[in-house]
Amino acid sequence: MPDVQRVVFRRLTIAAVIVGTTVAATALAAPNATAAPGARTATPCLVRAVLFNGAVTQRLALHGKVSCAQARRTYQRYLRDADSGACGSGRICQISQPGGWRCSALSAVESQMAHGLEAGCTRRGASFGVYPVRGKASDAV
């Protein structure tokens, strides 16, 4: 039981860091977006993911030095690895990816506590969170 508690604590810590970074980035970006009339907003980083409930569109919230393309590749590789059994029989799973990324998905309860964050990946100097998007999966690039 202590091992499971340690893993849950680690996942909640990662989720808290990603949520905190998202909130901080949003707070910093919001005044700048309204300060310059006519300024373009960043293009959303969308990804098409095939999950247990079919193909869905998800939004990647990028933080630090990570491009949308890199985040998409990392997240899709994580989904492929998780689907291929890298997590074993357990539902709690953190998978290391190339480039120093550590990715994990949140449970439904954790996702609710993290304001919709479904998964996330982090490495030194960068991270991204995965959030649901209401719409067609074909909208994603």
Instruction: Collapse the DSSP code of 79 into the 3-class scheme (helix H, G, I; strand E, B; otherwise coil) and give the result.
Output: helix
Going by C-alpha positions, the residue among 55, 93, 92, 90 that lies closest to residue 76 is 55
C-alpha to C-alpha distance for 72 and 131, rounded to whole angstroms: 13
Note the pLDDT tens digit of each residue in 64-114: 999 999 999 999 999 999 888 877 766 667 899 999 999 999 888 889 999
Single pTM value for the model: 0.64
